[in-house]
Structures are given as C-alpha cells and as structure tokens.
Structure 1
Amino acid sequence: MNSKIKISMIMLGIGVGSISPLMASEPFLPAGFEDIFNAKQNAIYDILFDDESLGSIGIEYDQHEAKLLSPRVIVDRLTAPDMPALNISRQALLSQLSSPLPRVNKAGFAKQKIVVYLDESNTTLQLLFPAALFNNDSKKAARKYIPFKNNSGFVHSHNINYLDDTYGNSLSVYSTETLNLTGSSYVKGTWSYADTINFELDELAFYLEENSNRFKLGRQRLHDNLSGSTPSMAYSFYNAMSFDGISLGYMTDNYIAPGTGAASPVTLYMPMAGTVEIYRNGRLLDIQQLSAGLQTLDTQSWPTGGYDVQLVTKLTNGSREEKTQPFFKRTGTFHSGDIEYLLQLGRYDPRRDDIKLRTNSKSCSQCNSDTFNTARDNNLASASLAYTTESALSAGAGALLDNTQLYANTSLDIPVNSWIAERLFADGIYGRDGSSGYQIGLMKNLASVGLNLSYRDNRYRGDKKNYRHFGIVPAYDFNYLQLGLNTFLPWNVGLGVNYGLNTVYQDYGHSNKSQFNTWDINLSRDFTLSDMLNMRIDLGYHRGVSETSYAKNSYSITEDRLFAQMTLGMHERSYNHSQSLYLRARSGDDGLQNNTYAANYALNLDNPDFDRSGKYTVTADMAHGPQKENNAGASITVDNALGYTSAGIAKSFGDAKYQQQYLSQRSGFAIGADGAAWGRMDNDAALIVDATDLPKDQYFEIRNRSSAPTIVKGGQKTTLSMQPYQKIAPEAEQVFSDKTDAFYNLKTQSTSTWAKPGQVYQVKLSATQNQTVTGRLYSDGQPLSNARVVGGNSMSDEDGLFVADFTLQTNEHLTSLTVKKEGQDFTCPLLQQNIKVTKGIMQIREVNCEIQ
C-alpha cells in the first residue's frame, strides 16, 4: 500500500513539474532581496517573431511579465504583407500588444493569449502567438503577391574581358540593360560583342507582368521562358536559342514566398502543448515546439526525396507518442497546386548556330547562295502545361511546331519511398516524322550515400538531307549514360564511382559513330594535423576508351591509369585576412619522371588599411609536370567601389611555350528618381546608397537580405545590387575603425516596398554617436549639486561631479549643457580651453552655469 502511495506521489510530482517549463522560473532568493529582484526594469530589446527581427524598442519588464513601450511599431511590422496572416483586426492586435504580456521560459508555449520569452543575455524578446490567432486559410504566403510601386528606373551591368596570349589578343563585352517603365512593365536587353562574332543581341523584349502572369514581346530566350513559366517540367531535348516573337506564361517571381518546390503536408494532433522530434533513418532531422490542436509541421529545412519520418511527441504532462509516416519533397521554383502554362509564337534564325557564316574576313566559309535561301527564318509555336501535387509529383506536357516539324513532349517527376530510389524522373519528345528522344533517371540520398543514374537517347528519323541541321530539337542521333555513386567507407574513407558512356553518330541511320567510355574510381581520406594544418590523400583509377567507327574501319584508344595524390594544406585567418597554401604531389603508374608537383597560394584581404572599401584576393601558383614542363601564374581580384576588377598572368616553360595576360572588369550603374550611382552591379534591380551625411573618414557596410553586401565611404554614394522581386530592407554597420572616438549607431531610411526589375530606390544612411562627458558643475563659484543634466541621463553629486552620456548626430557638436535643479533651468557654456578628450571621453575641467 505504501509503495502505491509513493508511486502516485512520484507521478503527481512529475505531472506538476512538467508544467513548470511554461512559467518563467524563479530562483531561490536570500531574505531581503525580494524587492530588488522583482522590481521593474527598463531596457531596449530586439523583438523577434518566428526568428525574424521586428525592430528594437524599449520594454518594461519584471520576472512575470513584459510590456512593449512602442507597440505600434511592432503592429506595423506584424501586419506587413510578407508576414503570416492573422484573423484579428489591427486594432485588436494593438490592444493585446499594449497590455502586459506574460513571460515564459524557453520551452514555453502560447495557449490562449500572446506570451513572450526574454533572453536577457543577448537582449532579445521572442513573441509567441497562439495558433488561434493565425488565419489558416491564408497563412500560406505562397498565394500572396508582392506589393510594389510605380517607380521607373534604369539598371546597367557589364563584363569586359581583354585577353592577350601567344596567339594574339581579343576583346569581349557582355552587357545587360533593364529599363523599368511602370513597375509592372519594363524593357530588358542582353547583348555581347567579341572580335570573332561581332555584335550579338540575345534579348531585347518588353515585359508586362500581372500577379502570376508574364507577357513578353520582342527578342527573348527560349530556355528562360521554359524554365520560368513551366519550372516543374524538364526539357532535355531543346537547344538554347533566342527568337523574335511573343510569349505568355506563368511566373512565380511575384509571390511574396517565391517558388521553393513542393512538400507533402505533415500534420499532427497535439492534445496539449509539447515538443516534436523528427527522425529519418534514426538520425535527428528537426525539433519543433507546437501548441495544442491540429498542427502542420514546418518542413522547409528537411531534405528532398521520398522517405519515412518518425515523429516523436513529448507533451508537457510527460507523456510520449510516436508516429511514422511517408514524406515527399522536391525543390524548385514552382508551387504545388498552381497550373503552369506557356504559349510562344515567333521565329528564329538557325544560321547563327547551324553554320559559321562569319569569319575574320567577313565572308561565309561554308555556304553558297542556295544555303542562304534554305537557311531562312524558321517559325516557332509552342504550348505547355504542367502541374505539381501536394505530394511533390509533377507532370507536364506540351506541343511544339518547329517550322514544319511538329513535336509533342512530356515530363514526369515522381518522389518515391524505396531502398534504391527516392526520386524518379523522365521526359521525352516525339516528332511527326518519327524522331524521338527520352531521358530516364533516379536519385537516392542517404546520410552517407548518394546515387545518381540517368540515361538519355535521341533518334532522328526525318529527311536525310536535314541530318545535323540546327533547330530547336537536335537533328542527330546520340545516347548518354551516366552513373554516380558517393559514400563513406569505414575509417572515414570516401569512395566515389563515376561511369559515363557517350555515343554520337556522325551520319544518318546510326552510322559512323564516336563513342567515349570512362570509368573513374576514387578513394580519399582527410587528416586534421592541427588547427592550421590538414592533409588529404587520394587514390584513384581512371579508364577511358575512345572508339571511332567509319564505314568498315574502326579505331580504338584505351587509357588505363592509376594515381596517388597527397595534398598538404596550411591555412591561417585573422579578423581581416585569410591565407592558404596547398602543396600537391601526384604520382601515377607511368614512372617517376611523369610525376606532377604543384603549389597554390591564396591571400584574401578584407577592408585593408589602404582601401577600406575593398576586398582583395591574390593568388599565385607553380607547377612542375612531365617532360620538364613548368607553369607559373599569378592573379589579383579587387572588389571595391569600382566593381570587380581582375588581372592575371600565366606562363608555360619548356617545349610548348605559352604566355597569357588578361584583364576583366565587371560593374555597372543605376539611375533612379533620386539620382544615379556607379558601383558593383550583378542583378537587374538596385539601391543607391547615400552616405553623404556620414563622416568622410569612415566606411560602412550595407546589405539587403540575401544580396551581397557593399561598402560605401562616408560622404559618397554607391550602388547596392539586389535581386528583383525582393523586399527593400537594408541593414548597415560600421566597418572596423581603430579610432576610439569614431563609433556610430547607424540608421537606414528607405521606401518600404518590393523592387521590380529595373527599379532603383535610394537608401539614406544617417548616424548618431554616443558621447560620454564628465566634469564638475558650478554656479556662482559654488558646486551645483543634485542637478539633472538634460539629455545626458545623469545627476551631479554633492561636489557637482557628473558623468553623462549624450547621443549626437554626426555633424553635431556639444557646445553647452542644460541643467535643471529644483525647478530652475541653467545654461552651461563649454569653453574649448577647458575640454580634453581622452579615448573618446570628453573631460571638462569646470563648467560654469547661469540661470536662464
């Protein structure tokens, strides 16, 4: 009987104790410290919601609750279009956030009302909302479109390359221009120039976009349309080309949550709040905390494929439940449940890729008048439809009219839960003339095993005279088999096996073939010798067979090679630089005289003293190979306010002497309503960073979400290239400074919207500086005691001594103090001869104050 009572008491204790994580725990306090511990405090905290920062505001808190001092700022951010939709009004949300919010610990949950978790170690406050506040019908941001403004602009980017080697020199230019007209309409052009091909216009089209629809008029690239409008389909038998015409298709760019693929929903009923652990093949994938009710798990971080997931639920009452269910996921720029479509109509010139019409002498080297007559513009018309289910199964089909040839194509992608495959994919094409092509493949990825297998075959059965004629669909016979396997053996030995079989038929009717057969088997092992030294050993076998058959003759070349390679790597990193040196020795089974030795050195400098706005990469390499062949080279790449600039030299010594020098420059400019700026430009939208109000001797780094950051010098402007269709949410920070009195708090001011292609917005940077002032206050020759220093959050002591902290603008100087005492206001001018600044602290010998 006693044992039963003890067991009951233990179980009751477990049940009561398991609820405690929902409450903010209170430690044991010595007598007399209760009032101090429970006193309310004020501080500035970073407010977080679902791992996203909503801004930093002041809060008032104690051990039980916290109150937001500026709730409207948080409400504005929570009701933004890119946040999960709520089923309460803005005013109701403001009312709840204006009230004191209960505190919970890290394992706490929101049941009926909003609660908060405070992490005082890094001054963050996490908002926890109950599931009842979310609008489940519109919680998926995948069906929300980005808001944008009617803001015109122009963005230009280019890449200029100059090469000078032993055989001559060449100049090439590649450029992209984007002119936004009305926000949803813009003109985009892409062109290139090279000595050998002269001028090439790849794209010059007018775009008109509305929600999930995109219309194009002009010269456009076929594969951009295929991958953008039917992203879940595969087109293995379409050649890349440009055509002149019109197209209308589906697009995912305008979604607030752009296409990230499809995943089967994983739902779980929670009788009460608890933690869910997700396992795959015994390995922990994810941990999520869920409140009570029917919950849908977040699968964004889970790997792709088809596999079983084990859900282990641990409830707050101490109970534990397990559930196993299949899960399917595939990544890509598509959404499940959307109908993808594409319609195209136009014509293209096959001569550009079919035959070489231009040479350096501006003449046709392979053609006559009949060739020009037959190689006229070809007509193009196509239509495609595709769909992806919630279980990540994608299917699509289409029709293509390539001049007079009619084709039908299809695509299928199936996630499966099998021991040998987790994804099966296939696509094919069939022509009215009997030509056909198909591709099949499978993939499997486990914790330590990766398998890829695919086979592609194309057969042309049209007119013999058109064999190898360039068109949208290849007009020649070929097949290709590829197998890849990567895994780890015991003792962390990596194994890689790759096999490829590529066959091309030179003439009509599967005759005169060229076949390439390769095997590659590699074993590798990495060793960590120290924090700065590591070693890698590779052992490999390569077999290559090249076979050519012509008429009744056959030629075959076989290559078998064993090799061993040892790599010794040394690396070192500091706060603003990193460097590495790799020494490699490679030996084969063809004798020591054919060994290869190489050394590669790399140095990365981030914001060096001679150029705070730049990042430099310097490389140098040397190699000694068979037949006394020696190679040496060096290069430097600079990423600064002028864009990317790279220069290098390479030279070969020995019998085959060769020398090469190159210079490459990549940059661009942006023009908007607020001005223009030059700088690094990699995308079709841009921000003009205006730092003209910041100190001219300081440098500042600014970034916008996933876009690469840029550095601007105070007093100047530059461009920040950003991905179009992204929200403008810039962040800035100061680049390291060795001056103790030159630390600034930065603020960005920009338009709150999403940027469309060609649009340019301005980001205005401003800064404040904290100035600590210490000194002694006097009035009529007597210490001014117990006086409050206005703006400095300070009181003077009985001797008039004070220590105050002021927040000043970058162009603001402290010339006087305002002091209040017993209802009287005092003005205290600061004399320069009485001021001394030491390590950023302003020390004032004496301050004489006068009554206002």
Structure 2
Amino acid sequence: MKLRLKPLAIMTASLLASFLAESAITIPEGFEELAEGQVIMTEVFVYGQTLGVFQSRVDLENVQFIQPEAVASAVNKMFPDTPELSATLGQTLNRLLPRNSKFSCSSNGGAPGCDFLKTDSVEIIYDENNTIVYLFLPDRYLRHKTVDTEYYVQSVESRNAFVHQQNINFVTDKNYQSASIQGNGSLGVTENGYLNIDWSWMGQRYRSENAHHTDVHNAYFRQDLLKRYYLQAGIMDARDIFNNAGGNINLSQLPLRGIRGVRAGSTLAWMNMDKLSRGTPINVFLSRDSRVDAYRNGQLLASFYLKAGVQELDTRSFPTGSYGVTLQVYEDNQLVRTESVPFTATGQATMNATHWFLQVGVPGDNQSEEDRHDHHVIHAGIKIPLSENASVTAGVADFSRARFWEGAIDWTHGFNFGLIDGLMTVRTSYLYGNEGSRGNVQQLNYNDGFSLSFYRTSMTAADCNVQNKHRYSYNGCYQSNNVLFSVPFSQWYGTLGYSRAKNEGRYVYRHELTEDYQEDSLILPWEKVYQTHSRSQTWQAGLSRSFSLNNLNLSTSINAFMRNDSGLANRDKGMFFTLAVTQSHAQQHGKRGTSSAGVEWRTSKNTADQLSYHAGYSLYTDASGRNEIGGSVYGLNTDNVSSTLYGRTDGQYGSGSLTLSDAWLQRTHQHALSTSGNYSSSLVIDRAGLSLGRWGGGAPASAIIVGVEQDDGEHNSLVNVSLDNGSSSDVHGRRKALFTLPGYQETALKVGESLSIPDGVSSEISKGTGTKKVFMTPGKSINRKVHVRTRYTWLGMLKDEKHQPLEGGIPLNVISWTPLGEGRFTLETSKRIKDLYVMKNNAFWQCGMKVESIRDVVRNVGTSLCKSTDFAALPGTERKQVELMTAGIRQKIEQTVMAGKNDE
C-alpha cells in the first residue's frame, strides 16, 4: 500500500514520537497504526543534492527503505569508482536507520548546526514535516572527484570563425630604421580542430645597408581527440610542446627546431588547472548558508561565505607545504562545529598521467645551409610521473647526420618543519650528442618568505673554436652559473647575487658584445659576430625599501658590486644609490595624473662618478587607465640630456602608442632625434560579419563579440563588458565590441550597466546581463546579444496659449508621468522627444520640450508653452494611442444609445 501522510497525521506522529521519547509509557489507544509504521514516499537528499523519491517505511523511531538497492544505485552515480562506498551502502541501507529527527531544522526551530550529522558510517536525518530523508556519508567521500570535473567543456554557443591578430612596431632615427609586423590567425574547421598560421615580417635599414625577410613560423592543422590527445600536421615550431597545449614537456637543451611534418601527442589544454593546482581538495557540507574560516596553527588563512550544500574551498592562496587545516563553520555568526583536515599544496598541478609527443618530418624553411642537408627529422619526448611530486622527462632528436638525447628529473617538495615550511623545486638534465656535444643543467628554487635560486648550465663540443662546425643551434662552448638570495626583514628587502659565465667560440649579436668590440663600425645592428672567448664574474648585494609619506610614494636602494670581465682592463668594483619619488593627483571625470622624479649616483674603480636624474609626468585621460599622455626628462652628469613625449591609447578597435625622443649630446653639441610606435589589434570574421577589436597576446585565439541592441535609434546607452583577464569596455548602443582571448582558456564574461552614465540618459539591460564562464578552442567565436531599454527623465511645467498651467491632461508619447500640480510634471520616455502631445478631454495640445539644463539623468525643460492642435495633426503612433484609449468610451456610448432605442 502506497500512502503519503497528510499534514495532520504527520503532526500527530511527530508529537507522539516526542512524547514517547521522553517517557517510557505504553502507546495510547488509537495510535497503534502510527507506531507500527507507515509506507510513504520520501525524497532523499545527499549533501544538498536530491536522489529522487523512494518508498520508505517510517515508524516512531526508525526509517527503512523499501528498495535500498535503488537508493544505493543513485548514490553510486554521484560517487562513481568507489567500491568501498558501494559495499557500505549494501550493508546499511537495507537495515532500520534511526530517524534522528531532533537534528532536523524543521523540528528544532532552525537551531545552529541543524540538518547535519558527522558520521563514519551511513546515517540519516528524517524531516517529518516535509517527508525528506537527509543521507550522510563519511567525510572521505566528500573529497571524491569524478574525472569529468577535471576537463573543460566547450561552450555550446561557440561557432567556427577566423580570428587574426596583428601587431605593428617601428623605430626610426637618423641612421637606423626598423619596422616589423607579427600576425597570428586561427580558423575553426571542426568542433575540436583548427588551422593556425603564425608569421612575421621585418625590414631594417642602417645608412646605406638594408635587410628584410618574412618568416612563417607555424602553418598547421590541429585536431584534438578525447580531450587528451592531439594530431597536428604542417609547419611547426616547438613552442606548443613546452606548454599545456602539447603536454608541458620541458626539454630545454634538445635541439627542437621547426619542422614540416606530423606531430602527435598528449595535451593538457583541456585540463581544468584550477581543479588540480589547489592541492589536496578540502570539501565541507553546509546545511545552511554559512561562513567558513580556515586556520593553520592559529593563523587565519582565509574566510569563505558559502551557500548550502557540498562546497569545495578555493585553496589556491594557501601556503605551500603539508600541514593540517582547521575549519570553523559559522551559522548566523555562531560557531556550530569545528573540523580538522590534512592538506598538501606543492604549488603546481598534480599530474598522475604520462605525457608524450612524437613528430616526424623534414627541417623547416628557417634552417642554416648545413641543416638543409638533413633529409629527415624525428623528435620524440615523454614525461613520466614517479610520484605526485616527481617526474622524469626524456627526449630524442634524430637528424640525418646526428642524434641527440636529453634526460631530466624534476622534483618538488613542500616542507613543514617549523621555520622551514616552504616549497622547493629541483631540476637536473643532461644532453648527449653523437657528434660530440654535451650539455647539462642544474636548477634549484626555494620559496619560504625568503627565496633562494641557483641555476647552472654548461655546453661543450668536440672543438670549441671551429666555426660553423657545430650545427643544430649549437656553436662553441659556454658555461653559466647564477645564484640569487633575497630576503625581507623589517621594512627592507635584501638581495645577494653571484654570476659567472665563460664562452668560447660563439656567435653573438651586437648588443651582446663586450667593450672590446663596441668600436667596430663595420658591424650592422642585426648581424652576428664570431667571438673567440669571453669570461665574466660578478658579485652584487643590495638593500631596498619602499614607503609612503603623506601622498608621496618613495623607494630607495643601495647596491654594491664587484665585476671581473675579460672585456675590461682591470677588476671593477663600486656601488650605486637610487631614490625615486612618485605622487598621484586625482582630477575630475576620472582623470588622474602621476608625477615622478628620481636620482641615481654611481661610483666605481674603473669609471668616473656618474650622477643621473629623471623627472616625468603622465596624465591618464579616463578612469580606465588605458589612455595616457606624458613626458619625461633624463640626464647623465652634464654630458647629455634626453627628453621624451609619449602617448598611448587602448580602445575598442585596438591599442597604439607613439613616442618622440630627443637626446642632446654635450660632447658633439648635436641633437639625436628618434621615433617609435606600436599598433596592435585583432579582427574576426564569422557568420555575423567582420569585427575589429583589441590584440589578444599573439597566441592561437578565440573571440567573444558582444553586440548591444537598443530600443531607440540613438547610440547614447552604455553597457559595461568585462573579462576576468583584465579586458573591459563600455559599449554604446547599436554597436559591438570584440574581445580576443587565448584558446583553451576558461574566461568569465560579465555584462552589466556602465558606471559612466551619459547626461540625461538612463538605461536598463533587459536581456543578456550577468556573468557567464566560457571555454573555446582556437578559431571559435561567441556572439552575445545584449538588449537595452533607454530611459529619459524630464522635469518641467506646461502652460497653455494663455500662459495658464495646463492641468488635467494625459501625455500621449510617454512611458509614465506624474503630475506635480499647477502644470508641473515629471515624466519618462523611451526615446528623446522634441514635442510632448497631451490629450485633455476632447482637445489636443503640442508642447515643445527644449532642454534648459541636464543634471545626472534628469532633463529640465523649464516652462513649456503648449499650442492646441487637432487629432489629424497628431503623429501616427499618438493617433493609434488615442484610438485605443477612446475605444472603450465609444463602446459604452453606443451601448447606452442602443439601450435607449430599445426602451422606446
């Protein structure tokens, strides 16, 4: 028999259960059936999520599921791959389960901590007032995650598109001119596949010499498979191998140059790193909206304001290491319970899977002459996790005439030993080439308030001084060592660094030359020079501090150094001192200015003392901080003075900058003028047409296009659109804005009303507002429509042709209106109007709406003189409005007339 207790029976059973619980007496006559139990339909919840409605036998003390296997199956769907839980459910759900109704919020008046049980088995709370069963499981299952939550899902509204970004740079002076263009375009082809081309052009001129060339770095098709693997074919460089798009396989020494061929491998592009980089998951069940405070040894790590249900805490800001976290749960600002959980954070995503790649082809077009003799190229790499914090990486590069192999070990460890509770990362790698090349790298980083880093790299060849013999990007021999220690103390920040480098038989660009080569006028800026040998050794120590004084921000530092360079005649040592001051000035309409000034004094053994100074001012022309103009002056002793004027803008159709600089050289009494500039933008072609927007970083990209539709014909409404990557824009009505973002990146899109309100205009978003997270592969676009209702508020007084207040009339072309007496009014319209039409009795008036002043969203029209008009002179919309308003009156008149005739 299937029954559902009526409210009266439920209340009676509740009172009876409470009575029997407090006094051991016999069951009163007439209540035997309730005491024996009723079969009812109960809704079952697990940590805030419903499992459905199931038959249950409920008596005064226990609840028993009629079909426990159905309940267990529903729970297993929420927590898959948990055989221990399945066994526990099978053993407990077919038994009598204590009701625990006293813990129900509906029974105890919503006492703090109600609707919750902490258990090591399976228990319930039966809410008899709502016939609900709350099922509780051991805490360890709260931390269980399904695999699907670790992968992003492509937004269903995304469509294939062509997304191209372009970046233009130029610099010019009297003797040297240079211009470059960088472009990247992605075209969506399949649901998870796209074409990409990455290209650049550079042109340079130095006096009578010039050079220019065009490079296609990438031109390939990529198809992702099962969100874990990918296939790629075309012209490819190695950049994707080293990031999440290609498995994040770090082979820093292996000669992975561009190829024309095919690549296959595993990918992390679809992996939700936020789910993996937070360390051990910390979940908490809340029966009500609550505040959760997380502590580590009495130190408050974070406070969370969370909704009811199972919530996972965002632990990305928690310190690295392994330690216990104490959770304090507050309901209505009352502490209801305390829980302690273990936590481990290594500062990086925990990868428990092997990642690999394999590519086969021929060398790309940008190879040296000797590289063109290679008939094939085979590159392969694999990264295997040894534990949650350690991995081994191996790779091979096989050419027609040489073969290279690299192996590396990465290890990360979080300490929890009193003062030592930071994170350490270690990496070591070794390279072997059968043509005689050998290389090794050692790297260590430790962060714990203070930081320590060590980096050493070494490359040797069979003969260091034979030019052009060592191919595949290797030439000569070199060794480099760097150590940096930095620590904050009190309000100061100290650093100590050491570096040593030795090179023999290498090609370097002009800007890398030591002073021995600087006077060689035959060297063009873009050419390489063969350098036989060089050695350098440097120590440097410094102290710095920043602090505020009233409205001034001051920063100062003092540094001492010692340098021994083969390009210098003697060992050099010295020190330098810097002082910088900045001040911000707030102005009207969101503008703000920043003044800065600074001085640096340097002294050393080998050079004369130097005193340099600078001063500058910049003005941000709006509240966004993306549009700026400014100037600066820089001087060095009395030898030269440089002045600079610059401006930059970042708008809906891209960003650009222009800088003019002049250097006065005291020694030659000459000016040296130079100019540099930049413009970057993006364009998208999709089914909605062509859109222009900002530069998105230059990587394979997707796009979001937000179009604002307005109910009147003007462009004066503003909608604010922002992305969590920092991009934002105020979009006018009947216009659209393009936002370019890197592919494979989840982005939160927020649409809301703009804080910048045009004078006399208010607007409300009727469709498309709110925040939405999107995820797209490159070559995709999302078009989001936002509908805006524009509102104009008017204030004034109406007078007739005799200059008497016009009262008792009904405005026609308005949304709403409020009479204020003696002809005064406020009214609201959906568009800007020149004339207000008023109906009074059977007469019509036309009143001019000439704005005298505007304050915020109110348009003051002062006194408006109205002239009489007739029905035929009204605009079409107002005539229809009058007809609708008077239709009911005419119908009543006709009915009255007909009734009178019938009476006759």
TM-score, normalised on structure 2? 0.65
**Greater Cα offset, 578-587 or 274-283:** 274-283
Q: Following TM superposition, by how much is the alpha carbon of 1:816 offset from its aligned partner in structure 2, in angstroms?
A: 8.3
Which of 586, 591, 602 pairs up with 1:573? 586
Query: C-alpha distance in 2, partners of 1:407/1:643?
Result: 44
Which residue number in structure 1 is paired with residue 497 of structure 2? 498
Query: C-alpha distance in 2, partners of 1:695/1:106?
Result: 56
Query: C-alpha distance in 2, partners of 1:373/1:156?
Result: 34
- Residues 650-665 of structure 1 aligned to structure 2 (within 5 Å): 650-654=661-665, 655=667, 658-665=672-679
2:445 maps to a residue whose letter is M
Give the length in aligned residue pairs. Answer: 689
Which of 308, 315, 323 pairs up with 1:299? 315
2:453 maps to a residue whose letter is N
User: Is the Cα contact below 8 Å between 2:254 and 2:406 reproduced in 1?
Assistant: no
Q: Following TM superposition, by how much is the alpha carbon of 1:487 offset from its aligned partner in structure 2, in angstroms?
A: 1.8
Which residue number in structure 2 is paired with residue 584 of structure 1? 598
User: Is the Cα contact below 8 Å between 1:146 and 1:254 reproduced in 2?
Assistant: no
Query: C-alpha distance in 2, partners of 1:389/1:107?
Result: 46
Q: Following TM superposition, by how much is the alpha carbon of 1:761 offset from its aligned partner in structure 2, in angstroms?
A: 3.2
Larger Rg: 2
- Residues 339-354 of structure 1 aligned to structure 2 (within 5 Å): 339-349=354-364, 352=367, 354=368
Query: C-alpha distance in 1, partners of 2:845/2:641?
Result: 71
Which residue number in structure 1 is paired with residue 479 of structure 2? 479
Query: C-alpha distance in 2, partners of 1:782/1:507?
Result: 93
User: Is the Cα contact below 8 Å between 1:666 and 1:680 reproduced in 2?
Assistant: yes
Which residue number in structure 2 is paired with residue 768 of structure 1? 789
Instruction: Report the CA distance shift for 1:259/1:192 in structure 2 as closer, same or farther (over 3 A).
Output: farther
Query: C-alpha distance in 1, partners of 2:318/2:268?
Result: 22
- Residues 38-117 of structure 1 aligned to structure 2 (within 5 Å): 111=116
Query: What per-residue deviation string (whole Å, max 9, x for no partner) do you get for residues 761-812 of structure 1?
Result: 32333211345689999xxx99989x9x999799999x99999986x75689
The reply to whether residue 668 of structure 1 matches residue 682 of structure 2 is yes
Q: Following TM superposition, by how much is the alpha carbon of 1:247 offset from its aligned partner in structure 2, in angstroms?
A: 0.8
Which residue number in structure 2 is paired with residue 146 of structure 1? 154
Query: C-alpha distance in 2, partners of 1:761/1:471?
Result: 43
Instruction: Report the CA distance shift for 1:597/1:110 in structure 2 as closer, same or farther (over 3 A).
Output: farther
Instruction: Report the CA distance shift for 1:105/1:631 in structure 2 as closer, same or farther (over 3 A).
Output: farther
Which residue number in structure 1 is paired with residue 728 of structure 2? 709
The reply to whether residue 623 of structure 1 matches residue 634 of structure 2 is yes
SS at match of 2:243: helix
Query: C-alpha distance in 2, partners of 1:680/1:587?
Result: 41
User: Is the Cα contact below 8 Å between 2:155 and 2:776 reproduced in 1?
Assistant: no
Query: C-alpha distance in 2, partners of 1:497/1:221?
Result: 37
- Residues 675-754 of structure 1 aligned to structure 2 (within 5 Å): 675-682=689-696, 684-691=701-708, 693=710, 695-706=714-725, 708-725=727-744, 726=746, 729-734=749-754, 736-745=756-765, 747-748=767-768, 754=775
Which residue number in structure 2 is paired with residue 118 of structure 1? none
The reply to whether residue 205 of structure 1 matches residue 204 of structure 2 is no
User: Is the Cα contact below 8 Å between 1:676 and 1:688 reproduced in 2?
Assistant: no
Q: Following TM superposition, by how much is the alpha carbon of 1:202 offset from its aligned partner in structure 2, in angstroms?
A: 0.8
User: Is the Cα contact below 8 Å between 2:168 and 2:680 reproduced in 1?
Assistant: yes
Instruction: Report the CA distance shift for 1:696/1:769 in structure 2 as closer, same or farther (over 3 A).
Output: closer
The reply to whether residue 644 of structure 1 matches residue 652 of structure 2 is no
- Residues 443-454 of structure 1 aligned to structure 2 (within 5 Å): 443-447=445-449, 449-454=450-455
Q: Following TM superposition, by how much is the alpha carbon of 1:696 offset from its aligned partner in structure 2, in angstroms?
A: 2.2
Query: C-alpha distance in 2, partners of 1:677/1:300?
Result: 36
The reply to whether residue 441 of structure 1 matches residue 443 of structure 2 is yes
Which residue number in structure 2 is paired with residue 545 of structure 1? 564
Instruction: Report the CA distance shift for 1:760/1:514 in structure 2 as closer, same or farther (over 3 A).
Output: same
Cα root mean square deviation, aligned: 5.0
Query: C-alpha distance in 1, partners of 2:843/2:694?
Result: 47
Which of 407, 410, 423 pairs up with 2:408? 410
Q: Following TM superposition, by how much is the alpha carbon of 1:712 offset from its aligned partner in structure 2, in angstroms?
A: 3.7
Q: Following TM superposition, by how much is the alpha carbon of 1:285 offset from its aligned partner in structure 2, in angstroms?
A: 2.0
Query: C-alpha distance in 2, partners of 1:194/1:314?
Result: 61
Which residue number in structure 2 is paired with residue 363 of structure 1? none
Query: C-alpha distance in 2, partners of 1:107/1:620?
Result: 61
Query: What per-residue deviation string (whole Å, max 9, x for no partner) do you get for residues 21-73 of structure 1?
Result: xxxxxxxxxxxxxxxxxxxxxxxxxxxxxxxxxxxxxxxxxxxxxxxxxxxxx
Instruction: Report the CA distance shift for 1:588/1:663 in structure 2 as closer, same or farther (over 3 A).
Output: closer
Query: C-alpha distance in 2, partners of 1:395/1:814?
Result: 79
Q: Following TM superposition, by how much is the alpha carbon of 1:758 offset from its aligned partner in structure 2, in angstroms?
A: 1.7
Q: Following TM superposition, by how much is the alpha carbon of 1:459 offset from its aligned partner in structure 2, in angstroms?
A: 3.3
The reply to whether residue 330 of structure 1 matches residue 347 of structure 2 is yes
Instruction: Report the CA distance shift for 1:585/1:260 in structure 2 as closer, same or farther (over 3 A).
Output: farther
Query: C-alpha distance in 1, partners of 2:228/2:824?
Result: 63
Which residue number in structure 1 is paired with residue 21 of structure 2? none
1:524 maps to a residue whose letter is S
Query: C-alpha distance in 2, partners of 1:103/1:579?
Result: 60
Instruction: Report the CA distance shift for 1:802/1:728 in structure 2 as closer, same or farther (over 3 A).
Output: farther
1:755 maps to a residue whose letter is M
2:250 maps to a residue whose letter is A
Which residue number in structure 2 is paired with residue 155 of structure 1? 163
- Residues 452-471 of structure 1 aligned to structure 2 (within 5 Å): 452-461=453-462, 469-471=470-472
Aligned sequence identity (%): 15
Which of 303, 311, 316 pairs up with 1:287? 303
User: Is the Cα contact below 8 Å between 2:158 and 2:776 reproduced in 1?
Assistant: no
Q: Following TM superposition, by how much is the alpha carbon of 1:672 offset from its aligned partner in structure 2, in angstroms?
A: 0.6
Which residue number in structure 1 is paired with residue 180 of structure 2? 172
Instruction: Report the CA distance shift for 1:396/1:489 in structure 2 as closer, same or farther (over 3 A).
Output: same
Which residue number in structure 1 is paired with residue 230 of structure 2? 214
SS at match of 1:171: strand
Q: Which consecutive unaligned segments of at least 5 residues does structure 1 have?
A: 1-84, 89-99, 113-128, 355-371, 549-554, 609-613, 819-825
SS at match of 1:336: coil
Q: Following TM superposition, by how much is the alpha carbon of 1:589 offset from its aligned partner in structure 2, in angstroms?
A: 3.3
User: Is the Cα contact below 8 Å between 2:848 and 2:865 reproduced in 1?
Assistant: yes
- Residues 811-826 of structure 1 aligned to structure 2 (within 5 Å): none
Instruction: Report the CA distance shift for 1:585/1:161 in structure 2 as closer, same or farther (over 3 A).
Output: same
Which residue number in structure 1 is paired with residue 41 of structure 2? none
Which of 547, 555, 570 pairs up with 1:527? 547
Query: What per-residue deviation string (whole Å, max 9, x for no partner) do you get for residues 450-504 of structure 1?
Result: 22222223333589968762416x45432222222222223x1221222222222
SS at match of 1:225: helix
User: Is the Cα contact below 8 Å between 1:563 and 1:587 reproduced in 2?
Assistant: yes
1:384 maps to a residue whose letter is G
Query: C-alpha distance in 1, partners of 2:234/2:646?
Result: 41
Instruction: Report the CA distance shift for 1:810/1:450 in structure 2 as closer, same or farther (over 3 A).
Output: farther
User: Is the Cα contact below 8 Å between 2:352 and 2:388 reproduced in 1?
Assistant: no
Query: C-alpha distance in 2, partners of 1:593/1:105?
Result: 77
TM-score, normalised on structure 1? 0.68
SS at match of 1:235: coil
SS at match of 1:606: coil
Instruction: Report the CA distance shift for 1:833/1:764 in structure 2 as closer, same or farther (over 3 A).
Output: same
SS at match of 1:141: helix
2:430 maps to a residue whose letter is I
SS at match of 1:181: strand
Q: Following TM superposition, by how much is the alpha carbon of 1:588 offset from its aligned partner in structure 2, in angstroms?
A: 2.7
